Amino acid sequence: LASQDIILSLLGSGEWVSGEEMAGRLSISRAAVWKQIQILRKRGYDIASSTRKGYRLASGPDLLHPDRILGCLKTKWMGRSLNLFDSVTSTNAVALSMAEESPHGAVILAETQSEGRGRLSRPWASPAGGIWMSIILKPQMPLSHVSRINMALSVALCRSISAVAGLQAAIKWPNDILIGERDEEGNWDGKERKVCGILTEMKAEVDRLDYVVVGLGINANVDLSAFPEEWNATSLAKEAGHPVPRADLICRILEEAELACEKAAGSAEDFQDIYQEWRSHSATLNRWVRISSADGEMMGMAADLDFDGALILELEGGGRSRILAGDCIHLRPCLHREAA
Amino acid sequence: LASQDIILSLLGSGEWVSGEEMAGRLSISRAAVWKQIQILRKRGYDIASSTRKGYRLASGPDLLHPDRILGCLKTKWMGRSLNLFDSVTSTNAVALSMAEESPHGAVILAETQSEGRGRLSRPWASPAGGIWMSIILKPQMPLSHVSRINMALSVALCRSISAVAGLQAAIKWPNDILIGERDEEGNWDGKERKVCGILTEMKAEVDRLDYVVVGLGINANVDLSAFPEEWNATSLAKEAGHPVPRADLICRILEEAELACEKAAGSAEDFQDIYQEWRSHSATLNRWVRISSADGEMMGMAADLDFDGALILELEGGGRSRILAGDCIHLRPCLHREAA
């Protein structure tokens, strides 16, 4: 580790640390500590100094640093192994390649992705300012419960976005998080925009889950000007009116994800409240939707969401269909009235 | 390619090839062709020669060669991409790492494996003389149908072992192939020994199968002296009384596997005859067994085998249990009488 990194990790708690203590830890002079602090300030770290108390990290630039995240992280196992990269092809690809040797809850983070991807290998824009994170999970659960992981992470994201950015997040089935507003009757206003996507991948034997990799792509403070309008994307910064503290959001997500994943790996009873919360945060339920899946295209009313994550579609032509995953387009009420 | 490899591929069909033709293809003299043939003979290839007809490959040493396999292979897509290695850690590990870029039906073969593995990452002995082969499949099927691949390969192995080695093979649930004999009433004599194991691994999204890797470990002509008695292993060579032609067996397996996998990826009706054949070749059905699975240990009668590969166990204490996969020990009738 470079001296600056050691100083950053010492300051990671946000408490005052004396120059003498830092000098001792680094085996350098107090003048040399001062010089390193100046370099860190030039790099964007806001470091307060006091002749009596020493130094304190007031705020950092919007760059991620493992020590800062680990310094604020209150989890038992989630994110305890944290790997931060400047740029990777895709954090899911890196996580899949590292999964065999990684512990349960290991996290891969990158400032940018050159080949970020979403469901069905579709490209995913990943500029600086976002949170591009993959979590390696090795839960003891049957293969058929994997959709619970997706549901648990959706709930964890909604809770964290609400707590850290003060925004109301909703879940677009099957794997997107939207920011939007409801009217007095609790109906979405139809102007929700996508702020996050979840990509759950797994490696398994016929009867045994080896590991799951959950990729989260969050448009935290990204510059939206490069996103085409038809992507219907927004950022947390735009919705909140100010940049969100990424490290804090990451910590909160990992804390909520630990709780939710433990419930997902438990009994049906354990998972019950995650399921209820997932269902109640749905932006899809009771909406007219068009679904494309391996079985073809269908239009209808999203009548229910099952305990295993499946969407129950009341078909336009009558009858019901149960769909585990697919592309979902929310139809605007007026558009549907025209079509109907 | 070296001249010898080109000559081998020209001779691969087993037909006569004139020295003149080979000299032309290689742009060398007929005398130089003769010299290369001598080298091949020293390496163990039995090459007949005739002044009138040229050269013919009568038989090769028991070494695998892609050209020889491709020369005899009658498949549309299975094994058309063939990768032969002298030694690898495990063909499944190599196949998993190559799967993304490989075509449907690509095959990885190795003369030996240093870290061969079976179900639940257990070690698998893989000395020279065996067939250590992994097949990369990218079938269009729901995740829940993956067990069909395991069943299809089991049937393909039984058919191939019967056709090439003249031996009656049986399927020990869930993923082993045994060689044994039945008495007049159709009951197994209890002396069956394991000759092959199947390891099916997959990579998937929640709703989409990305690829399946099926590893086949076949004790074809291996030296059994290094296998501890308690493994209850045998080889095709020991059972048949002579070495089996590995290249012929590989071709047959790939041909049968192509047919069976196409049926597995089809409708329930398409898969019906593979299921029936899989069930009828079972060495487990109607036997007393002890099963260890994620749900614990159970003892009972193997009463049925379901269409999805599950074992229906009539429990010793009453009731039935449905098990998708687990460790299965066939109890000898006398042992069970003692226990009961």
pLDDT in tens, A185-230: 777 777 789 999 999 999 999 878 999 999 999 999 888 887 888 8
Q: Determine whether the interchain pair A202/B203 forms a contact, defined as Cβ–Cβ distance below 8 Å.
A: yes
Q: Are residues B205 and A120, on separate chains, in Cβ contact within 8 Å?
A: yes
Contact assignment for A208 to B150 by CB distance below 8 Å:
no
Could you read off the pLDDT of A21-73 as tens digits, one per residue?
Answer: 999 999 999 999 999 998 888 766 788 999 899 999 876 656 687 887 888 89
Average model confidence (pLDDT) across chain A: 89
Count contacts between A and B (CB, < 8 Å).
74
- Asked whether the bond before A174 is cis by omega within 30 degrees of 0, the reply is yes
Q: Give A 66-95 residues with CB within 8 A of chain B.
A: none
Q: Is the pLDDT of residue A13 over 90?
A: no
The predicted pLDDT at position B333 comes to 61
Given a cut of 90, is residue A174 above it in pLDDT? yes
Partner B contacted by A147 (CB < 8 A): yes
Q: Which phi and psi (to 5°) does residue B292 adopt?
A: -110, 125
Torsion of CA B31, B34, B39, B44, to 10 degrees: 180
A200 at interface of B, judged by CB pairs closer than 8 A:
yes
Tens digits of residue pLDDT in B128-156: 889 999 999 999 998 889 999 999 999 99
CA pair distance A312, A331, nearest whole angstrom: 16
With an 8 Å Cβ cutoff, are B207 and A293 in contact? yes
- d(CA B304, CA B291) in angstroms, rounded, equals 14
Token code pair at residue B308? 């999805």
In angstroms, what separates the C-alpha of B201 from chain A's closest C-alpha?
A: 4
Residues of B in Cβ contact (< 8 Å) with A144: 144
Selecting from A120, A140, A207 the residue whose C-beta is nearest the C-beta of B208 gives: A120
The percentage of residues in chain A with a pLDDT greater than 90, rounded to a whole number, is 61
Mean pLDDT over residues B236-240, rounded?
A: 92
Cα distance between residue A105 and residue A257, in whole Å: 10
Shortest CB distance from B206 goes to which of A200, A203, A205?
A200
Q: Which of B179, B183, B106 lies closest to B138 in space, CA to CA?
A: B106
Contact B143 A143 (CB under 8 A): yes
Which residues in chain A have Cβ-Cβ distances shorter than 8 Å to B119?
Answer: 205, 208
Please tell me whether residue B251 adopts helix, strand or coil conformation. Answer: helix
Distance of residue B205 Cα from the nearest chain A Cα, in angstroms: 4
Radius of gyration of chain B (CA): 22
pLDDT band at A106 (very low <50, low <70, confident <90, very high): very high
Chain A, nearest residue to B205 by Cα: A201
pLDDT of residue A335 exceeding 60: no
Say yes or no: A134 contacts chain B, CB-CB below 8 A.
no
Q: A-chain residues within 8 Å CB-CB of B199?
A: 205
pLDDT on residue A62: 66
Q: Which of A201, A206, A309 sits opposite B205 (nearest CB)?
A: A201
Position A163 confidence tier, pLDDT thresholds 50, 70, 90: very high
ipTM over 0.85: no
CA-CA distance, B5 to B26, in Å (whole number)?
Answer: 11
Residues of A in contact with B120 (CB under 8 A): 205, 208
Q: Which of A248-262, B85-99, B225-239 has the highest mean pLDDT?
A: A248-262
- Kindly state the average pLDDT of the residues A275-279: 98
The pTM for the full model equals 0.77
Phi, psi of A108 (to 5 degrees): -115, 125
pLDDT the model gives residue B145: 92
* DSSP-H helix ranges across B166-283: 236-240, 246-264, 268-280
State the smallest CA–CA distance between residue B206 and chain A in angstroms: 6
CA dihedral A14, A45, A135, A175 (to 10 degrees): 110
Residues B4-29, mean pLDDT to the nearest whole number: 86
Residues of A in contact with B325 (CB under 8 A): 205-208
Q: Report residue B60's pLDDT band, with 50, 70 and 90 as the boundaries.
A: low
Quick check: B90 pLDDT over 90?
A: yes
pLDDT-derived band at B335, boundaries 50, 70, 90: very low
Q: Are A139 and A212 in contact (CB under 8 A)?
A: yes
Return the structure tokens found at A194: 């996508």
Cross-strand partners of B292: B297, B327
C-alpha dihedral, B297 to B299 to B303 to B304, nearest 10°: 20
